[in-house]
A and B are shown apart, each in its own frame.
Chain A
Amino acid sequence: MIRSRRWLHGSIAALLAVGFLAWSNMPTSAQPAKKGLVTLRMGYLENISQWVPTLDPADVTDTTGSIATHLMYEGLVGLKVVNGKPTVYPQLAAKLPTLSRDGKTYTFTLRRSLKFSNGDPLTAADVVWSIRRALAASAKSPVASYDNLIQGFDAYNTGKSKSLGVRAAGNNVIIKIQKRASYFLTAFTYNINLVLDKKVLQGKPADDTGTYLTQTCKAAVTSGPFKPVCNSSATRDVTSFYRSGSSPTLTLVPNTRYHGRISNLKLVLPILDSSQTAYADFQSGNLDMASAVPSSDLAQWRGKKGAYLYPISGIEYLAPNIQEKPFDNVHCRLALEYAIDRNALDKNVLHGAYKPLYTVVPPGFVGFYNGKGTPHFSLSKAKSELAKCPGGINTTYVWRNDTPDRRAEAPALQAMWKNAGINMQLKGLVKNDWLPIILAPLSKSHTSLAYDDWFMDYPDPQDYMDILLTPSHVEDNMVWNNARYNNLIAKGNTAATTSARARYYVQAQKLVLGQAVFIPIDNFLELDLVSPKVKGLAPDLGQSIVWAKNNDWSQVSKS
């Protein structure tokens, strides 16, 4: 009797175990694998948890959204790296646009027989609709201002007019801008101008289209090299992109109706909650590529095959409050800057993961120069300037404390200032407390000195010199307003040749840096890791991450 009970108990336990395992392993839906595609698992979507913040090109403000939308959509023109520099090239346009004699009208001609991923014809009307949709007041796009050169932008974007300087004429798209601007085409490569399928999205409320695109896989009818693999045809449910109950993943396969060469890749982009997770996942062999390797590990990767260390567009700088004491006085600002030993900071504190910076524009951009004239480290000069600073410096430095590097940097700066006789208290803030302070005039919060950083929106010096330091922009939190500087920037923005532009921007930088109104600290270096089995990826200054060489994913392979 005892034996038979034991047998019964054993059988029930075994059945329960088998049943549980079967339940736990049961897929919720079948996803047929595409035959012949090479799978690349890429750590592109990191530092996010639930899902990509947005898949609406008109709403993209972060790296993950930019990467995902650039893989799925194209615009009339795009950026690719030529001779190490981001260069505008035609994407949906057959060639670069023709420009009218007054420099204000661009005429783009579309390639012939373009199609979206679902087979819908891609016409000039789709291009015009996409731009108008993104810039409409009801769309509330946070990045609409990248197109603010387009004629009628202000009135159209605020809902006061329906007129916008973008129209279709046959196979052409004609764009009129308000004033000659050398950087227009570069700015026009921004995500906001990527082309969506009018047929799929027309009729949706404009203020809701972004959420719809982000949470509805079937809405992602693409114009670029890839399209998403959908788990279901559900709407407003992020699990339409991936199997419910599994880790969120955006899976992309080639858009077979793409106008360019079709790749042979299946890109699996898992959502990774941190850089550390992505890094560990790469080391475990589960990812073919990871970015943002911790600076403390930089030394072990330097020079190794598949490790790419390169400068990107990001810069760190100090923003003094030039409206209030003590930094309304140039000597106080100069004392502060002379006391900073950038080389020691980058070498000893930041593990060589940054490069000392003495300019506003980082290397690789028009207008970059050697920084001659910018105050370099000199303890004696710092003390001498401090002696001319009325009342000395006894104030607070507000900094962003959310990365190990920044947490190491702030006390190091404090120690350097102390050496020069400057008494600086530290106030570290999390991003969400820091952001409102630096997105308003510093005088509003009575902040004496703030950490600030900037990553380009598009690779042009105007994106630094104009946006960070002219009074019409919220990013000019120092409230620097200098007529000569503004005039030089206006000239740089419209000069016809690259050399002329560079000349104006250099003059403007010397003006602002000589007065220590803007104190550059360093230029971010990016370390990306790629499996040695993967060929055809290279650093891309446009995306600030490793990307397909020449933007050609058909040339990327894995052995």
Chain B
Amino acid sequence: MTNMAAFAVRRFLAMVIVLYLIATLVFLIAHAAPVNPVYQALDQKYTPRAAAQLRHEFGLDQPLWRQYSNYIGGLLHGDLGKSESRSTLGESVSGMLKRGVPVTLKLGFMALMLALVVGLPVGLISAIKQNSIIDHGTQGLMIFVYAVPTFVLAPLAQLVIGAQLKWLPVTGWGDPGVLGYKEMIMPVCIYAAGLAGYFSKSFRSFLLEVLNQDYIRTARAKGLQERVVLYTHAIKNTLLPLASIVGPVVAYLITGAFITETLFSIPGVGNFTVESTVNSDYPVIEATVVLLAAFVVVVNFLTDIFYALVDPRVRL
């Protein structure tokens, strides 16, 4: 077996073990939570008799080890179980994910595109105008949007842009018949804001580092125009480190929308996850967390393989 194949196998086995441990941990944490799914499902119709019946239907009257083996067995067979929340009671979790994942990806990729379109030029300008007012002003703004948490920025935007100025609606994702696409603007911008700040800061740092390299000084000494130095020599060399930060961000696109989706009533995986956690809807919690973990772990696995291909030292 070549070094590369052995490395890939090792990494794959590690990925499987990580996923198994995550699945187990999620199961234990979900079942250790103080909220009882039976109360949630029954709400005002709670009676001890009805609770016992529902506990039996959910399989919660079985010993924990039996519930665990049923859960792991289901996962291995691709059976994610059925929802235990009242409104979606009995609905297949796979079906819920099928309609949630595209929404989350759509929100995530629109935010990513916007963040790149805004963050990179701002980082570029800051680097070129290093230590100028423009640099301090733009970086100050970028640090602000990066640092302010979504749960602060989103309600603030809803209040000011939605409620006060009445420019944009605050809910209603994917309702083109009534609202056009205006309802997407605010959540996409809010979600993109932090990313744009992150890209801008990172891109500025990468670019400044490159601009201080000897070969850039040489290029300038050769009399090349600053534009050529920048676009042909400097920016090209920032693309690899840039790719190394954009990759993980892509992985987190599916995981990072909990707050945005919840606050804007967007029916994505993040919203399901939060709602299922509140309701202690075990099958949905387990499925969404394992899905999110799998996405991150697989992207990391692919990144490791890619780096190993590019840089043989990694395989050792």
Contacts and interface: CB of A to CB of B under 8 A. Distances in A.
Contact of A53 (B34, B43, B272, B275): B43
A280 B163 contact: yes
A239 B99 contact: yes
A52 interface: yes
Interface string B35-46: 110011011111
Interface string B159-185: 100111010111111111111010000
Contacts of B172: 247, 270, 281, 286
A237 B95 contact: yes
A277 B271 CA distance: 14
Q: What is the interface of chain A mostly: helix, strand, loop, or mixed?
A: loop
B179 A286 contact: yes
19 contacts: A24-B110, A25-B176, A31-B177, A62-B44, A214-B89, A215-B90, A236-B91, A245-B267, A247-B173, A249-B175, A268-B178, A280-B170, A281-B170, A281-B171, A283-B162, A284-B158, A433-B34, A435-B39, A435-B46
B181 A25 contact: yes
Interface string B264-302: 011100011001000000000000000000000000000
B87 A272 contact: no
Nearest to A248: B267
B265 A271 contact: yes
B86 interface: yes
- The 7 closest A-B CB pairs, nearest first, are A142-B45, A246-B174, A283-B163, A284-B162, A286-B169, A51-B87, A61-B44
B91 A247 contact: no
A314 to B, nearest CB: 13
Contact of A211 (B34, B40, B89, B263): B89
Interface string A139-179: 01011000000000000000000000000000000000000
Contacts of A239: 99
A436 B95 contact: no
B43 A50 contact: no
Contacts of A268: 178
B15 to A, nearest CB: 30
A407 to B, nearest CB: 18
Contacts of B103: 245
A270 B45 CA distance: 25
Given A214-B87, A246-B267, A283-B162, A142 B42 contact: yes
Nearest to B173: A247
Q: Which of B155, B169, B174 has the most CB atoms of chain A within a 10 A radius of its CB?
A: B174
B175 to A, nearest CB: 5
Interface in A423-468: 430, 432-433, 435-436, 439
A84 interface: no
Contacts of A277: 158, 170-171, 263, 265
A206 to B, nearest CB: 14
B88 interface: yes
B85 interface: yes
A142 B44 CA distance: 9
Interface string A28-68: 00010100000101000000111111100001011000000
B303 interface: no
Given A48-B87, A142-B45, A245-B99, A436 B39 contact: yes
B174 A439 contact: no
Given A24-B110, A247-B171, A435-B46, A285 B166 contact: yes
Given A280-B159, A284-B169, A286-B171, A54 B262 contact: no
A467 B268 CA distance: 42
B290 to A, nearest CB: 20
A157 B85 CA distance: 25
A267 to B, nearest CB: 12
Interface in A351-366: none
